[in-house]
Amino acid sequence: MPLPPWKQPVGVDAVIEGWLASGYVRPCLTADRALPASEGDYREIPADLPDALRRALASRGITRLYAHQAEALVAARERKHVVVATPTASGKSMCFHLPVLSALMADPDASAIYLYPTKALSRDQEAGVQKLIRDAGLTIPAIVYDGDTPGDARRAARERSPIVMTNPDMLHAGILPHHAHWARTFQRLKYVVLDELHTYRGVFGSHVAHVLARVRRVAQFHGSDPIFLCATATIGNPGEHASRLLGVPEDRIRVVGESGAPRGARRLFVYNPPVVNAELGVRASTLKASVRLAVDLIRARVPTIVFGQSRNSVEIMLKYLRDRVGDEVGPDAIMAYRGGYLPETRRRVEHGLREGEILCVVATNALELGIDIGELDAVVCAGYPGSIAATWQRFGRAGRRGGTSIAVMVANSNALDQYLATNPEYLLRGEIEQARIDPDNTEILIQHLKCAAFEMPFLRGEDYRGMAPENTEAALRFLAGHGVVHESEDRFHWSTDAYPANHVSLRTVGWDNFVIIDRAQGKVLAELDFRSTHTMLHEQAIYQHDGEQYQVEKLDYENHKAFVTKVEPDYFTTAMTKRKVAVIEESARAPLGRAMSGWGEVSVVEKIVGYKKIKFHTHENTGYGDVRLPDMQMHTTSFWLTVPEEVCMELGLGRAAAIEGMRGIAVALETVSTLALMCDPRDLGQTLGDGGEDGGFGGVDRVSGRSPQASTGQPPQASGGPHAGFDPTIFLFDNVPGGVGLAERIYESAHELVARTRQLVSRCTCQAGCPMCVGATSGDGIRKKAALGLLASIFH
């Protein structure tokens, strides 16, 4: 029984002491690191900083700048592009507020555009810059321009506001196509601020690189040449990434990478839940373990944030926490924050955190970014966030008061988490990943070339985003051949009525979310993106919202509406997914020992085949249901590894055993590739298929990570029907439409990666296979034995 609230030990130190003395926490700690506090590195405020800004800083108790703030201010005033790459809560916003406001005070006709990756962040930062302006006694307007901005405010932003705060999507589709209406902004555009630069990676970052190229082109047309001021969490290549994103040489970018901000002491833990099934290598629930640790923190009145990997996991942990300690602290002291909540709900949670009214918030990565959520003292990550950079970004959300803070990563049973749990130095001291984009992706480039041509004609000999003039001209002639531009004398004009930006989504998902309507109340409860709808809003799904459960009674797919009714079930639902991969075009192939490797363009078809009912708290499977929704199709790039049928036969492996062995190799190869490429595991997709023309046959149960067919011992069939032979093939594909080059890099390093895969499986101390090597198995050892045999035969 827990102690009554008035007898509970209070504070971070009490929690740490209790964990280290406990019989259930300490045995599961695979890492315990104490990072000491560090002093700040300060510089004097430049003598020529306007007095008004000096007074504003003084009103906040700031008499000196951090070293990185002073360095960024000097570089910006020297008209250098700047990238500030320092940890969370190091005062990065002052690195761009001070030069921007100084420029606007010196030139009342000057302007600046602030770009944030999300609407929520721009709204949060709007309040921050407006307060700084008020503290300085200035009357400089600053306004957010996004989809929620009312008409009169939009007009004011265009005509009178020198600071416009927006997001890439609105800049792309709502501002650049109408740049003539924004002439006041673009004529004297001094600075473009890009906050959270590390979020602009992958396909999204590749799109944003072209949006920024169009900004520079439009600005130059109106007579300005803006400087870019960028801020990012720590990444491995801030200068290179900014160079590719901005389309400027790296030597023109000043990287400010050493933080001068003081840092409080921090205690880091890696917690690996206890094994509950030694034969299968299954561990206790990550969600329940995270809740248990969070309960200790809440009872000790430690302000805490718990990060979940998905919306569903956030809602489950919210329910469990309220069930455990809601009566002790009040249910409103424990809240959730995730995508899908309506804006007013998110604003209410943000306000409660800043004011100290909320003791614990359970969140998705929506709170990884720099939204001001006040002062927290503990972070619990339920599962590895996907990258070392994201891990430290989450850890950095606590410890802003200067005292000791706690950061815990709770591992789950998958291979990558288990590798990190047993090799915590990789996580705690490993090299930070690099952010990667591919703006030269032909499909993305052509889309934005159309948008740029709509915005203004191209002159013959003009280059686009550093592309040679002759290549730009060739691309424009390609568009002319398709009737969307018209060549006349020395110009290429847009020549169709279509509005291209409306058909180019930067985030590669549909523009329209699905709205969730509470039937009893007759009002909108929340909204959900197109992809998540398939897994969370199918009919009979239990949709969880703010710790309560709603059953989906009807999904109006055409009109993007889901109608739900509040219920009180003892279970939640989770969808089961199958994937099929088909090769569209092979770009390269090469032998790999006795196997064959290749990469190229593929079609990935995902189908939600059903759902499971999972009992709350015990997590028992209590039933299944069918789902009938259209397939989701994606065109991307993939690496593949095919083992010929004769190799399997020589090893004495029947079809079922060969499939199990290849599944084991696929799990280990995905782990090795993720670590080698230093990418987010969610950037790679994996399935098993046939090297023949029928394509992939490997349905993957996304809940357990195991093949539904494998559990029955029956071999899955290719979609084209039974045939005499088959060549089992592993597909590792870029999990974003169009791809970002990961598959090609795996292909180029295939020999080394497969050798590392063999090493990982052979050195694992388990007998029959486990989540750390070949994934969860049935315990008969077939998967690991077959995987080792196939790997040995490849290099024979």
Tell me: the pLDDT tens digits for 637-665? 999 999 998 888 888 888 888 999 999 99
- Say whether both 518 and 565 belong to one domain: yes
Q: Is residue 65 part of a domain?
A: yes
Cα dist. 570→283, 331, 492, 575 in Å?
Answer: 23, 19, 63, 17
- Identify the domain containing residue 327 by its residue range: 5-34+263-429
- Say whether both 334 and 309 belong to one domain: yes
- Annotate 648-717 with DSSP letters as a single string: HHHTT--HHHHHHHHHHHHHHHHHHHHHHHT--GGGEEEEEEESSTT-B--EE-TTTSS-TTGGGTPPP-
Amino acid 510: pLDDT: 44
- Cβ atoms of 198 and 204 within 8 Å: the answer is no
Amino acid 599: pLDDT: 95
The span from the CA of 184 to the CA of 642, in Å, is 59
- Say whether both 200 and 312 belong to one domain: no
Strand 485-488's sheet: what is its strand order? 458-459, 491-494, 485-488
Amino acid 78: pLDDT: 93
- Joined together, the tokens standing for residue 214 give 């169009």
- Say whether both 334 and 241 belong to one domain: no
Cα dist. 360→312, 337, 401 in Å?
Answer: 18, 11, 16
Q: Is residue 435 part of a domain?
A: no
Amino acid 646: pLDDT: 87
Q: Is residue 286 part of a domain?
A: yes
- Cβ atoms of 18 and 296 within 8 Å: the answer is yes
Cα dist. 62→15, 52, 585, 633 in Å?
Answer: 33, 13, 60, 54
- Say whether both 90 and 20 belong to one domain: no
Amino acid 764: pLDDT: 83
- Say whether both 53 and 85 belong to one domain: yes
The span from the CA of 164 to the CA of 155, in Å, is 12
- Say whether both 87 and 221 belong to one domain: yes
The span from the CA of 594 to the CA of 1, in Å, is 61
Amino acid 694: pLDDT: 43
Q: Is residue 612 part of a domain?
A: yes
Amino acid 234: pLDDT: 79
Identify the bridge partners of residue 518 per DSSP, sorted by sequence position.
523, 564
- Say whether both 668 and 768 belong to one domain: yes
Q: Is residue 509 part of a domain?
A: no
- Crossing angle of helices 782-794 and 750-763, rounded to 10°: 140
Domain end among 256, 286, 306:
256
Q: Does pTM surpass 0.85? A: no
Q: Is residue 508 part of a domain?
A: no
The span from the CA of 750 to the CA of 194, in Å, is 36
Amino acid 323: pLDDT: 94
Amino acid 549: pLDDT: 94
Amino acid 281: pLDDT: 65
- Say whether both 490 and 518 belong to one domain: no
Sites in the chain below the pLDDT cut of 50: 1, 6, 509-511, 693-724
Q: Is residue 584 part of a domain?
A: yes
Domain end among 227, 256, 285:
256
Amino acid 280: pLDDT: 62
* Side-chain-facing half-sphere of 159: CA atoms under 13 Å: 6
Q: Is residue 91 part of a domain?
A: yes
Question: 524: alpha, beta or left, given left = phi > 0 and alpha = psi -120 to 50?
Answer: beta
DSSP single-letter state for residue 569: -
Domain end among 429, 455, 476:
429
Question: 529: alpha, beta or left, given left = phi > 0 and alpha = psi -120 to 50?
Answer: beta
The count of structural domains within the chain is 5
Amino acid 597: pLDDT: 94
Q: Residue type at 29?
A: L
Give the CATH number for residue 542: 2.40.10
- Cβ atoms of 210 and 176 within 8 Å: the answer is no
Give the CATH number for residue 416: 3.40.50.300
- Say whether both 298 and 200 belong to one domain: no
Amino acid 706: pLDDT: 34
- Say whether both 627 and 741 belong to one domain: yes
Burial class (CB in 10 A: 0-12, 13-18, 19+), 566: middle
Amino acid 703: pLDDT: 33
- Say whether both 754 and 610 belong to one domain: yes
